[in-house]
Structure 1
Amino acid sequence: MCGRFIITETAPDLAAMFDVEHEGENLPEPSWNIKPTEQIPVVLESAKSGPVVRRLESARWSLVPSSATELAVGYPTFNARAETAAEKPSFRASVAAKRALVPATGYFEWHTVGTTKTPYFIHSDDGLPLAFAGLYSWWRNPVLAADDPARWVLTATILTTEAEGPLRGLHDRMPVVLAEEWWDQWLDPHTLGDQALLDAAVAASRETGAALRFHEVAPVTGNGPELIEPVGERASI
Protein backbone atom coordinates (compact mmCIF):
# COMPACT_ATOMS: atom_id res chain seq x y z
CA MET A 1 0.00 0.00 0.00
CA CYS A 2 0.99 3.64 0.02
CA GLY A 3 -0.38 5.64 2.93
CA ARG A 4 2.29 8.32 3.29
CA PHE A 5 4.62 9.79 0.69
CA ILE A 6 6.77 12.84 0.03
CA ILE A 7 7.35 15.21 -2.85
CA THR A 8 10.23 17.66 -2.51
CA GLU A 9 10.14 19.11 -6.04
CA THR A 10 8.44 22.45 -6.68
CA ALA A 11 5.63 22.93 -9.18
CA PRO A 12 7.97 24.43 -11.84
CA ASP A 13 10.33 21.47 -11.39
CA LEU A 14 7.47 19.02 -11.90
CA ALA A 15 6.11 20.94 -14.88
CA ALA A 16 9.50 20.68 -16.58
CA MET A 17 9.96 17.02 -15.68
CA PHE A 18 6.59 15.95 -17.08
CA ASP A 19 6.43 18.37 -20.06
CA VAL A 20 3.38 20.07 -18.60
CA GLU A 21 1.63 22.68 -20.76
CA HIS A 22 -0.66 24.14 -18.09
CA GLU A 23 -0.01 24.66 -14.37
CA GLY A 24 -3.13 24.85 -12.23
CA GLU A 25 -3.77 27.19 -9.33
CA ASN A 26 -2.96 26.62 -5.66
CA LEU A 27 -0.51 23.81 -6.30
CA PRO A 28 0.76 22.30 -3.03
CA GLU A 29 4.17 23.11 -1.65
CA PRO A 30 6.81 20.39 -1.16
CA SER A 31 6.04 18.12 1.79
CA TRP A 32 7.86 15.31 3.60
CA ASN A 33 4.75 13.79 5.16
CA ILE A 34 1.70 13.74 2.88
CA LYS A 35 -1.36 12.03 4.33
CA PRO A 36 -4.60 10.86 2.71
CA THR A 37 -7.15 13.66 1.99
CA GLU A 38 -4.36 16.27 1.78
CA GLN A 39 -3.64 18.06 -1.50
CA ILE A 40 -1.13 16.48 -3.86
CA PRO A 41 0.20 17.43 -7.32
CA VAL A 42 -1.03 15.22 -10.15
CA VAL A 43 -0.31 15.16 -13.87
CA LEU A 44 -3.24 14.51 -16.18
CA GLU A 45 -4.34 15.14 -19.75
CA SER A 46 -7.66 16.65 -20.81
CA ALA A 47 -9.22 17.00 -24.25
CA LYS A 48 -12.67 18.46 -23.59
CA SER A 49 -12.11 21.75 -25.40
CA GLY A 50 -9.96 20.61 -28.32
CA PRO A 51 -6.39 19.28 -28.44
CA VAL A 52 -5.07 17.20 -25.58
CA VAL A 53 -3.44 19.38 -22.92
CA ARG A 54 -1.09 18.02 -20.27
CA ARG A 55 -1.82 19.65 -16.93
CA LEU A 56 -0.31 19.82 -13.45
CA GLU A 57 -3.15 20.18 -10.94
CA SER A 58 -3.77 20.00 -7.22
CA ALA A 59 -5.95 17.06 -6.16
CA ARG A 60 -7.38 15.76 -2.92
CA TRP A 61 -5.64 12.46 -2.16
CA SER A 62 -8.57 10.03 -1.84
CA LEU A 63 -10.66 9.50 -4.94
CA VAL A 64 -14.34 10.36 -4.73
CA PRO A 65 -16.39 9.01 -7.65
CA SER A 66 -18.53 11.56 -9.46
CA SER A 67 -21.66 9.64 -8.40
CA ALA A 68 -20.98 10.18 -4.68
CA THR A 69 -23.30 12.53 -2.80
CA GLU A 70 -20.67 13.54 -0.24
CA LEU A 71 -16.94 14.29 -0.40
CA ALA A 72 -16.16 11.87 2.44
CA VAL A 73 -16.93 8.29 1.38
CA GLY A 74 -17.26 5.55 3.96
CA TYR A 75 -14.22 3.52 2.90
CA PRO A 76 -10.57 4.30 2.09
CA THR A 77 -9.92 5.33 -1.54
CA PHE A 78 -6.40 6.76 -1.36
CA ASN A 79 -5.16 3.49 -2.89
CA ALA A 80 -6.76 1.28 -5.55
CA ARG A 81 -5.73 -2.32 -6.22
CA ALA A 82 -4.56 -2.60 -9.83
CA GLU A 83 -5.87 -6.18 -9.98
CA THR A 84 -9.49 -5.11 -9.46
CA ALA A 85 -9.77 -1.36 -10.14
CA ALA A 86 -11.33 -1.81 -13.59
CA GLU A 87 -14.32 -3.63 -12.12
CA LYS A 88 -14.86 -1.56 -8.98
CA PRO A 89 -17.69 1.02 -9.23
CA SER A 90 -15.56 3.62 -7.42
CA PHE A 91 -12.70 3.40 -9.93
CA ARG A 92 -14.11 1.93 -13.17
CA ALA A 93 -14.87 5.25 -14.91
CA SER A 94 -11.47 6.64 -13.96
CA VAL A 95 -9.66 3.59 -15.31
CA ALA A 96 -11.44 4.10 -18.62
CA ALA A 97 -10.39 7.68 -19.32
CA LYS A 98 -9.19 9.56 -16.22
CA ARG A 99 -5.70 8.27 -15.48
CA ALA A 100 -2.99 10.36 -13.84
CA LEU A 101 0.61 10.34 -12.73
CA VAL A 102 1.34 11.12 -9.09
CA PRO A 103 4.90 12.49 -8.69
CA ALA A 104 6.73 11.34 -5.56
CA THR A 105 10.25 11.64 -4.23
CA GLY A 106 9.53 8.47 -2.28
CA TYR A 107 7.11 6.91 0.18
CA PHE A 108 6.99 5.44 3.67
CA GLU A 109 6.16 1.87 4.54
CA TRP A 110 5.89 0.20 7.94
CA HIS A 111 7.26 -3.29 8.51
CA THR A 112 5.25 -5.06 11.20
CA VAL A 113 6.62 -7.74 13.50
CA GLY A 114 4.14 -8.65 16.21
CA THR A 115 2.99 -5.33 17.60
CA THR A 116 6.10 -3.42 16.50
CA LYS A 117 5.88 -1.26 13.38
CA THR A 118 9.17 0.02 11.96
CA PRO A 119 9.05 2.80 9.33
CA TYR A 120 11.15 2.73 6.16
CA PHE A 121 11.65 5.30 3.43
CA ILE A 122 11.49 3.89 -0.11
CA HIS A 123 12.95 5.79 -3.06
CA SER A 124 14.57 5.43 -6.49
CA ASP A 125 18.13 4.19 -6.74
CA ASP A 126 19.23 7.43 -8.46
CA GLY A 127 17.36 9.89 -6.25
CA LEU A 128 15.12 11.07 -9.09
CA PRO A 129 11.35 11.51 -8.54
CA LEU A 130 9.05 8.58 -9.16
CA ALA A 131 5.81 8.58 -11.15
CA PHE A 132 3.06 6.55 -9.49
CA ALA A 133 0.22 5.34 -11.69
CA GLY A 134 -2.90 7.09 -10.48
CA LEU A 135 -6.56 7.69 -11.25
CA TYR A 136 -8.56 10.87 -10.86
CA SER A 137 -12.16 12.02 -10.69
CA TRP A 138 -13.99 15.34 -10.59
CA TRP A 139 -16.56 15.47 -7.79
CA ARG A 140 -19.32 18.05 -7.93
CA ASN A 141 -20.49 19.56 -4.65
CA PRO A 142 -24.29 19.59 -4.93
CA VAL A 143 -24.78 22.28 -2.28
CA LEU A 144 -22.75 24.95 -4.11
CA ALA A 145 -24.03 27.19 -6.88
CA ALA A 146 -23.26 26.32 -10.48
CA ASP A 147 -21.04 29.40 -10.85
CA ASP A 148 -19.05 28.75 -7.65
CA PRO A 149 -15.46 27.83 -8.62
CA ALA A 150 -15.25 25.61 -5.53
CA ARG A 151 -18.11 23.46 -6.81
CA TRP A 152 -15.75 21.03 -8.57
CA VAL A 153 -13.20 19.08 -6.49
CA LEU A 154 -10.40 17.12 -8.15
CA THR A 155 -9.64 13.88 -6.30
CA ALA A 156 -7.08 11.14 -6.97
CA THR A 157 -5.86 7.71 -5.91
CA ILE A 158 -2.62 5.73 -6.28
CA LEU A 159 -2.68 2.27 -7.84
CA THR A 160 -0.94 -0.51 -5.94
CA THR A 161 0.25 -3.98 -6.84
CA GLU A 162 2.10 -6.90 -5.26
CA ALA A 163 5.50 -5.88 -3.91
CA GLU A 164 8.60 -6.69 -5.96
CA GLY A 165 12.05 -7.90 -4.95
CA PRO A 166 13.39 -6.97 -1.50
CA LEU A 167 10.33 -4.79 -0.86
CA ARG A 168 8.32 -7.97 -0.27
CA GLY A 169 10.16 -8.24 3.03
CA LEU A 170 8.63 -4.94 4.18
CA HIS A 171 5.07 -5.15 2.92
CA ASP A 172 3.07 -7.22 0.46
CA ARG A 173 1.88 -4.18 -1.54
CA MET A 174 3.59 -1.27 -3.29
CA PRO A 175 2.63 1.58 -5.65
CA VAL A 176 2.69 0.96 -9.40
CA VAL A 177 5.76 2.96 -10.55
CA LEU A 178 5.71 3.86 -14.26
CA ALA A 179 8.87 4.45 -16.28
CA GLU A 180 8.94 7.47 -18.58
CA GLU A 181 8.25 5.45 -21.73
CA TRP A 182 4.85 4.60 -20.27
CA TRP A 183 3.73 8.11 -19.35
CA ASP A 184 2.19 9.12 -22.68
CA GLN A 185 0.14 5.96 -23.07
CA TRP A 186 -1.04 6.02 -19.47
CA LEU A 187 -2.19 9.66 -19.60
CA ASP A 188 -3.76 9.65 -23.08
CA PRO A 189 -7.52 10.19 -22.53
CA HIS A 190 -8.21 8.68 -25.96
CA THR A 191 -6.76 5.33 -24.85
CA LEU A 192 -9.66 3.33 -23.44
CA GLY A 193 -8.55 1.92 -20.12
CA ASP A 194 -9.51 -1.58 -19.04
CA GLN A 195 -8.07 -4.41 -16.98
CA ALA A 196 -5.74 -5.34 -19.83
CA LEU A 197 -4.19 -1.86 -19.70
CA LEU A 198 -3.78 -2.07 -15.93
CA ASP A 199 -2.16 -5.49 -16.22
CA ALA A 200 0.24 -4.21 -18.89
CA ALA A 201 1.15 -1.18 -16.77
CA VAL A 202 1.85 -3.39 -13.76
CA ALA A 203 3.98 -5.74 -15.83
CA ALA A 204 5.96 -2.79 -17.23
CA SER A 205 6.46 -1.42 -13.71
CA ARG A 206 8.11 -4.57 -12.37
CA GLU A 207 11.64 -3.63 -13.34
CA THR A 208 11.28 -0.10 -11.98
CA GLY A 209 9.76 -1.36 -8.75
CA ALA A 210 12.46 -3.96 -8.22
CA ALA A 211 15.13 -1.23 -8.44
CA LEU A 212 13.74 0.80 -5.54
CA ARG A 213 15.91 1.24 -2.44
CA PHE A 214 14.89 1.67 1.19
CA HIS A 215 16.28 2.40 4.63
CA GLU A 216 14.93 2.55 8.16
CA VAL A 217 13.85 5.94 9.49
CA ALA A 218 12.74 7.31 12.83
CA PRO A 219 9.00 7.58 13.67
CA VAL A 220 7.27 9.63 10.99
CA THR A 221 5.98 12.69 12.82
CA GLY A 222 6.06 16.34 11.85
CA ASN A 223 7.12 17.50 8.42
CA GLY A 224 10.70 18.12 7.33
CA PRO A 225 13.69 16.64 5.52
CA GLU A 226 14.89 14.92 8.70
CA LEU A 227 12.04 12.39 8.27
CA ILE A 228 13.88 10.59 5.46
CA GLU A 229 17.29 10.45 7.08
CA PRO A 230 18.53 6.93 7.95
CA VAL A 231 18.11 6.13 11.63
CA GLY A 232 21.87 6.14 12.35
CA GLU A 233 22.46 9.48 10.66
CA ARG A 234 19.52 11.15 12.35
CA ALA A 235 20.55 9.86 15.76
CA SER A 236 24.03 11.33 15.39
CA ILE A 237 22.83 14.91 14.88
Structure 2
Amino acid sequence: MCGRFIITDTAEDLAAMFDVEHVGENIPEPSWNVKPTEQIPIVLESVKDGPVVRRLESARWSLVPSFSKQLTSGYPTFNARAEEAAEKASYKSSVASKRALIPAAGYYEWHTAGKTKTPYFVHSDDGLPLAFAGLYSWWRNPALPGDDPTRWVLTATVLTSDAQGGLAEIHDRTPVVLPEEWWDQWLDPHTIGDQGLVDAAVAASRPVAAGLRFYEVAPLAGAANGPELTEPVGRERVVGGSGEPR
Protein backbone atom coordinates (compact mmCIF):
# COMPACT_ATOMS: atom_id res chain seq x y z
CA MET A 1 0.00 0.00 0.00
CA CYS A 2 1.00 3.63 0.04
CA GLY A 3 -0.12 5.58 3.10
CA ARG A 4 2.60 8.25 3.20
CA PHE A 5 4.88 9.63 0.52
CA ILE A 6 7.13 12.58 -0.21
CA ILE A 7 7.16 15.11 -3.03
CA THR A 8 10.18 17.40 -3.10
CA ASP A 9 9.74 19.02 -6.53
CA THR A 10 8.13 22.40 -7.06
CA ALA A 11 5.26 23.03 -9.47
CA GLU A 12 7.75 24.48 -11.94
CA ASP A 13 9.92 21.37 -11.72
CA LEU A 14 6.95 19.04 -12.20
CA ALA A 15 5.59 21.03 -15.14
CA ALA A 16 8.92 20.67 -16.93
CA MET A 17 9.34 17.02 -16.03
CA PHE A 18 5.90 15.95 -17.25
CA ASP A 19 5.60 18.36 -20.21
CA VAL A 20 2.64 20.10 -18.59
CA GLU A 21 0.87 22.81 -20.59
CA HIS A 22 -1.38 24.20 -17.86
CA VAL A 23 -0.52 24.61 -14.18
CA GLY A 24 -3.52 24.94 -11.89
CA GLU A 25 -3.88 27.03 -8.76
CA ASN A 26 -2.60 26.25 -5.27
CA ILE A 27 -0.24 23.42 -6.20
CA PRO A 28 1.03 22.05 -2.87
CA GLU A 29 4.51 22.90 -1.65
CA PRO A 30 7.11 20.12 -1.27
CA SER A 31 6.44 17.82 1.67
CA TRP A 32 8.31 14.92 3.29
CA ASN A 33 5.23 13.57 5.03
CA VAL A 34 2.18 13.62 2.78
CA LYS A 35 -0.86 12.05 4.41
CA PRO A 36 -4.23 10.88 3.05
CA THR A 37 -6.84 13.65 2.54
CA GLU A 38 -4.07 16.26 2.12
CA GLN A 39 -3.62 18.09 -1.18
CA ILE A 40 -1.21 16.51 -3.66
CA PRO A 41 -0.05 17.48 -7.17
CA ILE A 42 -1.37 15.24 -9.95
CA VAL A 43 -0.86 15.20 -13.72
CA LEU A 44 -3.89 14.62 -15.93
CA GLU A 45 -5.04 15.23 -19.48
CA SER A 46 -8.37 16.73 -20.46
CA VAL A 47 -10.13 17.51 -23.69
CA LYS A 48 -13.18 19.69 -24.11
CA ASP A 49 -14.10 21.22 -27.48
CA GLY A 50 -10.46 21.29 -28.54
CA PRO A 51 -7.06 19.57 -28.28
CA VAL A 52 -5.89 17.48 -25.36
CA VAL A 53 -4.28 19.57 -22.61
CA ARG A 54 -1.86 18.14 -20.08
CA ARG A 55 -2.39 19.73 -16.69
CA LEU A 56 -0.82 19.86 -13.25
CA GLU A 57 -3.53 20.22 -10.63
CA SER A 58 -3.98 20.04 -6.88
CA ALA A 59 -6.15 17.15 -5.69
CA ARG A 60 -7.36 15.78 -2.37
CA TRP A 61 -5.59 12.48 -1.74
CA SER A 62 -8.53 10.10 -1.21
CA LEU A 63 -10.80 9.59 -4.19
CA VAL A 64 -14.47 10.47 -3.77
CA PRO A 65 -16.67 9.02 -6.54
CA SER A 66 -19.06 11.45 -8.19
CA PHE A 67 -22.10 9.58 -6.82
CA SER A 68 -21.02 10.01 -3.19
CA LYS A 69 -23.28 12.13 -0.99
CA GLN A 70 -20.43 13.38 1.17
CA LEU A 71 -16.72 14.13 0.97
CA THR A 72 -15.68 11.70 3.69
CA SER A 73 -15.94 7.95 3.22
CA GLY A 74 -16.52 5.06 5.57
CA TYR A 75 -13.60 3.18 4.01
CA PRO A 76 -10.12 4.29 2.85
CA THR A 77 -9.85 5.43 -0.77
CA PHE A 78 -6.32 6.82 -0.89
CA ASN A 79 -5.28 3.49 -2.47
CA ALA A 80 -7.15 1.35 -5.00
CA ARG A 81 -6.32 -2.30 -5.69
CA ALA A 82 -5.28 -2.48 -9.33
CA GLU A 83 -6.55 -6.01 -9.89
CA GLU A 84 -10.15 -5.01 -9.21
CA ALA A 85 -10.22 -1.27 -9.95
CA ALA A 86 -12.19 -1.58 -13.20
CA GLU A 87 -14.97 -3.50 -11.45
CA LYS A 88 -15.33 -1.42 -8.30
CA ALA A 89 -18.14 1.13 -8.45
CA SER A 90 -15.95 3.77 -6.76
CA TYR A 91 -13.22 3.55 -9.41
CA LYS A 92 -14.78 2.13 -12.58
CA SER A 93 -15.57 5.43 -14.30
CA SER A 94 -12.15 6.81 -13.37
CA VAL A 95 -10.41 3.80 -14.91
CA ALA A 96 -12.38 4.45 -18.08
CA SER A 97 -11.47 8.10 -18.60
CA LYS A 98 -9.95 9.81 -15.56
CA ARG A 99 -6.46 8.44 -15.09
CA ALA A 100 -3.59 10.43 -13.58
CA LEU A 101 0.07 10.36 -12.72
CA ILE A 102 0.94 11.13 -9.12
CA PRO A 103 4.55 12.34 -8.76
CA ALA A 104 6.52 11.22 -5.72
CA ALA A 105 10.17 11.39 -4.73
CA GLY A 106 9.58 8.22 -2.74
CA TYR A 107 7.21 6.68 -0.23
CA TYR A 108 7.15 5.13 3.22
CA GLU A 109 6.14 1.59 4.02
CA TRP A 110 5.84 -0.20 7.35
CA HIS A 111 6.84 -3.76 8.14
CA THR A 112 4.71 -5.25 10.89
CA ALA A 113 6.08 -7.95 13.17
CA GLY A 114 3.77 -8.64 16.08
CA LYS A 115 3.04 -5.26 17.62
CA THR A 116 6.14 -3.62 16.15
CA LYS A 117 5.92 -1.49 13.00
CA THR A 118 9.21 -0.55 11.35
CA PRO A 119 9.15 2.26 8.76
CA TYR A 120 11.12 2.10 5.52
CA PHE A 121 11.72 4.68 2.81
CA VAL A 122 11.43 3.48 -0.81
CA HIS A 123 12.90 5.48 -3.69
CA SER A 124 14.38 5.22 -7.19
CA ASP A 125 17.99 4.20 -7.64
CA ASP A 126 18.81 7.37 -9.61
CA GLY A 127 17.10 9.87 -7.35
CA LEU A 128 14.54 10.84 -9.99
CA PRO A 129 10.86 11.17 -9.04
CA LEU A 130 8.49 8.25 -9.40
CA ALA A 131 5.19 8.43 -11.28
CA PHE A 132 2.45 6.49 -9.51
CA ALA A 133 -0.45 5.29 -11.65
CA GLY A 134 -3.44 7.11 -10.23
CA LEU A 135 -7.12 7.76 -10.78
CA TYR A 136 -9.03 10.97 -10.22
CA SER A 137 -12.62 12.09 -9.84
CA TRP A 138 -14.52 15.36 -9.60
CA TRP A 139 -16.92 15.42 -6.66
CA ARG A 140 -19.64 18.04 -6.50
CA ASN A 141 -20.61 19.33 -3.08
CA PRO A 142 -24.42 19.18 -3.03
CA ALA A 143 -24.57 21.69 -0.17
CA LEU A 144 -23.18 24.50 -2.35
CA PRO A 145 -25.07 26.41 -5.05
CA GLY A 146 -24.37 25.78 -8.71
CA ASP A 147 -22.58 29.10 -9.18
CA ASP A 148 -20.12 28.51 -6.33
CA PRO A 149 -16.68 27.84 -7.87
CA THR A 150 -15.65 25.74 -4.85
CA ARG A 151 -18.51 23.26 -5.32
CA TRP A 152 -16.21 20.97 -7.37
CA VAL A 153 -13.51 19.05 -5.48
CA LEU A 154 -10.78 17.19 -7.37
CA THR A 155 -9.83 13.93 -5.61
CA ALA A 156 -7.35 11.17 -6.45
CA THR A 157 -6.12 7.72 -5.47
CA VAL A 158 -2.94 5.67 -6.00
CA LEU A 159 -3.22 2.25 -7.65
CA THR A 160 -1.45 -0.57 -5.83
CA SER A 161 -0.50 -4.12 -6.78
CA ASP A 162 1.03 -7.12 -5.05
CA ALA A 163 4.61 -6.50 -3.96
CA GLN A 164 7.45 -8.58 -5.35
CA GLY A 165 11.14 -9.03 -4.58
CA GLY A 166 12.55 -7.39 -1.50
CA LEU A 167 9.53 -5.10 -1.06
CA ALA A 168 7.35 -8.13 -0.36
CA GLU A 169 9.38 -8.64 2.81
CA ILE A 170 8.12 -5.28 4.07
CA HIS A 171 4.51 -5.28 2.89
CA ASP A 172 2.35 -7.29 0.52
CA ARG A 173 1.21 -4.23 -1.48
CA THR A 174 3.12 -1.58 -3.41
CA PRO A 175 2.20 1.44 -5.59
CA VAL A 176 2.08 0.89 -9.35
CA VAL A 177 5.07 2.93 -10.61
CA LEU A 178 4.84 3.63 -14.35
CA PRO A 179 7.87 3.89 -16.64
CA GLU A 180 8.09 7.08 -18.71
CA GLU A 181 7.18 5.30 -21.94
CA TRP A 182 3.80 4.51 -20.40
CA TRP A 183 2.88 8.02 -19.28
CA ASP A 184 1.20 9.12 -22.52
CA GLN A 185 -0.85 5.97 -22.86
CA TRP A 186 -2.02 6.04 -19.26
CA LEU A 187 -3.10 9.69 -19.41
CA ASP A 188 -4.70 9.71 -22.89
CA PRO A 189 -8.37 10.67 -22.32
CA HIS A 190 -9.28 9.18 -25.72
CA THR A 191 -8.28 5.71 -24.49
CA ILE A 192 -11.23 3.99 -22.84
CA GLY A 193 -9.67 2.23 -19.89
CA ASP A 194 -10.64 -1.24 -18.70
CA GLN A 195 -9.13 -3.96 -16.55
CA GLY A 196 -6.91 -4.99 -19.45
CA LEU A 197 -5.30 -1.55 -19.52
CA VAL A 198 -4.77 -1.60 -15.76
CA ASP A 199 -3.25 -5.09 -15.90
CA ALA A 200 -0.90 -3.99 -18.69
CA ALA A 201 0.15 -0.96 -16.63
CA VAL A 202 0.93 -3.22 -13.67
CA ALA A 203 3.03 -5.49 -15.91
CA ALA A 204 4.91 -2.44 -17.25
CA SER A 205 5.59 -1.30 -13.68
CA ARG A 206 7.35 -4.52 -12.61
CA PRO A 207 10.81 -3.66 -14.03
CA VAL A 208 10.61 -0.20 -12.42
CA ALA A 209 9.67 -1.69 -9.06
CA ALA A 210 12.53 -4.18 -9.30
CA GLY A 211 15.01 -1.30 -9.44
CA LEU A 212 13.73 0.56 -6.39
CA ARG A 213 15.85 0.88 -3.26
CA PHE A 214 14.74 0.99 0.35
CA TYR A 215 16.13 1.40 3.83
CA GLU A 216 14.87 1.71 7.38
CA VAL A 217 14.13 5.17 8.77
CA ALA A 218 13.23 6.50 12.19
CA PRO A 219 9.56 6.47 13.25
CA LEU A 220 7.53 9.28 11.70
CA ALA A 221 6.14 11.71 14.24
CA GLY A 222 2.65 12.93 13.34
CA ALA A 223 3.41 16.53 12.39
CA ALA A 224 7.08 16.09 11.47
CA ASN A 225 7.96 17.30 7.99
CA GLY A 226 11.48 17.67 6.65
CA PRO A 227 14.27 15.87 4.80
CA GLU A 228 15.52 14.39 8.06
CA LEU A 229 12.58 11.97 7.91
CA THR A 230 14.29 10.12 5.05
CA GLU A 231 17.67 9.75 6.74
CA PRO A 232 18.62 6.05 6.90
CA VAL A 233 19.06 4.12 10.11
CA GLY A 234 19.90 0.89 8.30
CA ARG A 235 21.71 -0.23 5.17
CA GLU A 236 20.12 0.39 1.78
CA ARG A 237 18.73 -2.52 -0.18
CA VAL A 238 17.63 -3.02 -3.79
CA VAL A 239 14.10 -4.30 -4.26
CA GLY A 240 15.06 -6.62 -7.09
CA GLY A 241 17.72 -8.18 -4.89
CA SER A 242 16.31 -10.16 -2.54
CA GLY A 243 -21.31 19.24 -16.44
CA GLU A 244 -18.48 17.98 -14.74
CA PRO A 245 -15.09 19.62 -15.00
CA ARG A 246 -12.35 17.81 -16.94
Common fold by TM > 0.5: yes
Aligned to 1:226: 228
SS at match of 1:83: helix
Give the letter for the 1:52 counterpart.
Answer: V
Aligned to 1:153: 153
Aligned to 2:71: 71
The reply on whether 1:96 has 2:96 as its aligned counterpart is yes
SS at match of 2:108: strand
Unaligned runs of 5+ in 1: none
TM-superposed deviation, 1:231: 1.6
Tell me, in whole angstroms, the C-alpha distance in 2 between the residues paired with 1:147 and 1:6: 35
Give the letter for the 2:197 counterpart.
Answer: L
Give the letter for the 1:171 counterpart.
Answer: H
Deviating beyond 6 angstroms after TM superposition, the runs of 4 or more aligned structure 1 residues are none
TM-superposed deviation, 1:232: 6.0
Tell me, in whole angstroms, the C-alpha distance in 2 between the residues paired with 1:145 and 1:45: 27
Tell me, in whole angstroms, the C-alpha distance in 2 between the residues paired with 1:93 and 1:232: 42
Q: Deviations over 1:88-137 (max 9, x none)?
A: 00000000000000000000000111111000000000010000000000
Tell me, in whole angstroms, the C-alpha distance in 2 between the residues paired with 1:124 and 1:20: 22
Q: What is the TM-score normalised by the length of structure 2?
A: 0.93
Q: What is the TM-score normalised by the length of structure 1?
A: 0.97
Aligned to 1:6: 6
SS at match of 2:9: coil
Aligned to 1:47: 47
Q: 1:87/1:232 Cα in 2 relative to 1: closer, same or farther (>3 Å)?
A: closer
TM-superposed deviation, 1:157: 0.1
Q: 1:101/1:148 Cα in 2 relative to 1: closer, same or farther (>3 Å)?
A: same
TM-superposed deviation, 1:164: 2.0
TM-superposed deviation, 1:149: 1.1
Q: 1:73/1:232 Cα in 2 relative to 1: closer, same or farther (>3 Å)?
A: closer
Matches for 1:89-168 after TM superposition, within 5 Å: 89-168=89-168
The farther-off stretch of 143-152 and 13-22 is 143-152
Aligned to 1:60: 60
Q: 1:190/1:20 Cα in 2 relative to 1: closer, same or farther (>3 Å)?
A: same
**C-alpha RMSD over aligned residues:** 0.9
SS at match of 1:144: coil
Unaligned runs of 5+ in 2: 236-246
Tell me, in whole angstroms, the C-alpha distance in 1 between the residues paired with 2:203 and 2:57: 27
Tell me, in whole angstroms, the C-alpha distance in 2 between the residues paired with 1:101 and 1:75: 23
Contact map agreement 2:215 2:234 (CA 8 A) in 1: no
SS at match of 2:220: coil
SS at match of 1:190: coil
SS at match of 2:57: strand
Tell me, in whole angstroms, the C-alpha distance in 1 between the residues paired with 2:89 and 2:155: 15
Tell me, in whole angstroms, the C-alpha distance in 1 between the residues paired with 2:205 and 2:68: 31
Tell me, in whole angstroms, the C-alpha distance in 1 between the residues paired with 2:184 and 2:137: 19
Tell me, in whole angstroms, the C-alpha distance in 1 between the residues paired with 2:234 and 2:47: 49
Q: Deviations over 1:133-192 (max 9, x none)?
A: 000000000111111111100000000001121111111100000000000000000001
SS at match of 1:49: coil
Tell me, in whole angstroms, the C-alpha distance in 2 between the residues paired with 1:49 and 1:33: 39
Tell me, in whole angstroms, the C-alpha distance in 1 between the residues paired with 2:114 and 2:107: 23
Contact map agreement 2:41 2:56 (CA 8 A) in 1: yes
TM-superposed deviation, 1:49: 3.2
| Identical-residue share of aligned pairs (%) | 77
